[in-house]
Structure 1
């Protein structure tokens, strides 16, 4: 892809830099998807392979997911503040190298012995914390790098990265994990056949993707724009003041706060699927999957691949259509209602094929609601404040994700995963439909009536 023929050479160079940055990020996201899927398979088939270990498996899936989520959320405000203060290129490079070292440590853990669960939780927490800092630097970096006329295109490309990773990473992880067994059955290097499974290969691939991403960032020129609030020569505010800035901005604007509350509910009722889906496959869908000639590993890959296929389709639809130009809040709430209905259907369906269709429908709604929400925020928050405000936005919208994961693990140890999916989907449908009647959230696209931009954080 190239920039418009009418763009200045400087804009073409900036777009070319973004393309290199986007490509390296795409590889890194794919590598992380492979290692994340491999970790779940490792817990499901290697650490807790027996039906009597259902409670232990549910706890391990929940704790490893919680480690990543808590670290990412709690680190977000500090990461956003530092992204507006430090050199973003160096920040991304440092995070890539630290992530590669962390993957190396995980590779050693699973290769040299049986790692304790607390070690795996520490591993995911470290990745989540590093990812929060890298994400803040990356988001603000490409937002300032890409010409304004190309921002919608760049945002669409970033949405596509995550969906494509979800689409490709399960199949690639399944291939790597099954490689030693394939060698044992068909001949090949003896050392490879002696390895129990290919989980270490997935971790090694992810570590390599981080190193490659770091190499690309090291070769790029990514400037950090000066802070607009320091142009008049004011002293630089403290890090703590920068961390408080986003909270002050958002809480002074009730429509934005109500929009965040909606996403907090969405995450509360949807995030637990990362724990529930492996259990749904293992205890409800595996007999049906076995009839189709699928293993538990392949059935789970089919489920998650279906979600990603839906995400890719939703991304293509919203990119081609362009989204709503007005009343974009409907582009958030209506897809949430549909996603809730799809989740309820996934819990009620009794066959793997039907569940995959329902999960794909839920996945299709994700980029639609996210794209409209992102458009609202980009229009309402001045660009020079987006690093600090968006980090707090992420924290408020996603703080219920670890709660959802923990509750899903506790409920799944006692209740059927399908029933949990059914009732959570129905509850999401009702709450999102009620928000359509909320007069505050319907004003989210109007000129904000909160404190003037210059007054927000003035006391900081």
Structure 2
């Protein structure tokens, strides 16, 4: 799975980022529930979540060449350091009871810009030290890291709520950023210069041309473009964070414990599935896994909206968590296989930006419509949208070409 000599580096890289993602899960749950308890507004929650994504969506493709130009280890070091610096005034504002919505939004905006650089850098860095046969397992590890955010983040945050103030809980994320920052000093990645000599990576002195090359690659490859648009559209329908707190308060008339329970059920399913993907490398027929798994996600979301009890709702969130990683890992494996390494930083940034654009639309309209029509109706409508989009993609049929062994990454790059 790993190239010789990089086992320790891969371990340090994944452990450090795992802790960072876990800390992010704790702080995200803490801030979202603080907003819910104080304002009980889906619109405000949506604004906060949009602020945490929109800047990265808009700037991500333009920042993407940085990932392919500069040493990826240094990029991640700078991102972790700046994330820690940004978090300090937020902790102080909560401690002094001076926190307000504009300050939280500003924090989310700046964090989003850093994430737009850090996320594709991490995936590209892992891709540098992993063999082609390990791409499916890498996708599974990536899903496991994010699943842990959904499982352990809410659990830890809920427990900490009983004994600590919000400022102290956010201090946990600050600690994880510091650990991640320190661990990166001991990570060794293949030098980009050596890889350029091997013909695996080429530097382009023209920044504008770097951007054009990435978009030209996407324009020439219809199947990948369809996959990109497919995920952007379904992300509108499967978005949950801005609606789930309102489902808890509007339908179940409960508190943070029930919200944590729903998110934990989802996360447990995610962890179980991601471990299976990591162990097996995922499905061999990845496009079929996408086109079967995606409508299953939509049906789980719709069923969540009509669940009469908390127990049944937890069951559907668990099933949603089981199906999601199989879909996401299949998609990630496809991108890792068909995108040349020299373009991965730029293409992954474009992929993240457009995928998160759909999520942002889901946050915006999901929160606003849930305030007006109720969380249950919006969950059902989102599930129907996911199923409808999947049917259209199946009828269009371009995605099936990604299963053909006659295609090659080199051919796509030409």
TM-score when normalising by structure 2: 0.93
CA distance in 1, matches of 2:351, 2:395: 23
Aligned ranges 1:170-319 → 2 under 5 Å: 170-180=154-164, 198-226=165-193, 228=196, 236-271=204-239, 273-286=240-253, 289=254, 296-319=255-278
Structure 2 partner of 1:385: 343
Which string of whole-angstrom CA distances, capped at 9 and with x for unpartnered residues, describes residues 303-334 of structure 1? 111110111122133334443324x2111111
Q: Which has the larger radius of gyration?
A: 1
1:421 is paired with a residue of what secondary structure? Answer: helix
Task: Tell whether the 8 Å contact from 2:33 to 2:256 is kept in structure 1 after alignment.
Answer: yes
Runs (5+) with no aligned partner, structure 2: none
CA distance in 2, matches of 1:212, 1:324: 34
CA distance in 2, matches of 1:150, 1:449: 17
CA distance in 2, matches of 1:337, 1:235: 41
Structure 2 partner of 1:138: 122
Runs (5+) with no aligned partner, structure 1: 49-53, 181-197, 290-295, 456-460
| Aligned: 1:109 with 2:93 | yes
Count of aligned pairs? 412
Specify which structure has the bigger relative contact order, considering alpha-carbon pairs within 8 angstroms and separated by 6 or more residues. 2
- Choose the corresponding residue for 2:56, options 48, 56, 72: 72
Task: Tell whether the 8 Å contact from 2:9 to 2:186 is kept in structure 1 after alignment.
Answer: no
CA distance in 2, matches of 1:107, 1:233: 41
1:82 is paired with a residue of what secondary structure? Answer: helix
> By how many angstroms is 1:12 displaced?
4.5
Which string of whole-angstrom CA distances, capped at 9 and with x for unpartnered residues, describes residues 141-162 of structure 1? 1211234444433332222111
CA distance in 1, matches of 2:133, 2:110: 36
Structure 2 partner of 1:363: 321
| Aligned: 1:439 with 2:397 | yes
Structure 1 partner of 2:8: 16
Task: Tell whether the 8 Å contact from 2:137 to 2:281 is kept in structure 1 after alignment.
Answer: no
Task: Tell whether the 8 Å contact from 1:141 to 1:224 is kept in structure 2 after alignment.
Answer: no
- Choose the corresponding residue for 2:34, options 42, 65, 72: 42
1:325 is paired with a residue of what secondary structure? Answer: coil
CA distance in 2, matches of 1:343, 1:86: 41
Task: Tell whether the 8 Å contact from 2:237 to 2:381 is kept in structure 1 after alignment.
Answer: no
Which string of whole-angstrom CA distances, capped at 9 and with x for unpartnered residues, describes residues 148-203 of structure 1? 444433332222111122111101111112204xxxxxxxxxxxxxxxxx211221
> By how many angstroms is 1:452 displaced?
5.5
2:205 is paired with a residue of what secondary structure? Answer: coil
Structure 2 partner of 1:188: none
CA distance in 2, matches of 1:219, 1:233: 24
Task: Tell whether the 8 Å contact from 2:248 to 2:259 is kept in structure 1 after alignment.
Answer: yes
Q: 1:241 to 1:33 in 2, by over 3 A?
A: same
Aligned ranges 1:418-457 → 2 under 5 Å: 418-446=376-404, 447=406, 455=414
After the TM superposition, which of the residue ranges 298-307 and 215-224 deviates more from structure 2?
215-224
Q: 1:215 to 1:320 in 2, by over 3 A?
A: closer
CA distance in 1, matches of 2:201, 2:36: 57
- The alignment yields a C-alpha RMSD, in angstroms, of 2.4
CA distance in 2, matches of 1:234, 1:222: 17
Task: Tell whether the 8 Å contact from 1:67 to 1:124 is kept in structure 2 after alignment.
Answer: yes
CA distance in 2, matches of 1:281, 1:401: 21
2:45 is paired with a residue of what secondary structure? Answer: helix
Structure 1 partner of 2:334: 376
CA distance in 2, matches of 1:235, 1:322: 31
Task: Tell whether the 8 Å contact from 2:269 to 2:321 is kept in structure 1 after alignment.
Answer: yes
CA distance in 1, matches of 2:244, 2:400: 34
Q: 1:390 to 1:284 in 2, by over 3 A?
A: same
CA distance in 2, matches of 1:15, 1:207: 27
- Choose the corresponding residue for 2:65, options 78, 81, 87: 81
Q: 1:201 to 1:249 in 2, by over 3 A?
A: same
Q: 1:382 to 1:454 in 2, by over 3 A?
A: closer
TM-score when normalising by structure 1: 0.84
Task: Tell whether the 8 Å contact from 1:88 to 1:224 is kept in structure 2 after alignment.
Answer: no
CA distance in 1, matches of 2:225, 2:234: 14
> By how many angstroms is 1:74 displaced?
2.1
Task: Tell whether the 8 Å contact from 2:302 to 2:379 is kept in structure 1 after alignment.
Answer: yes
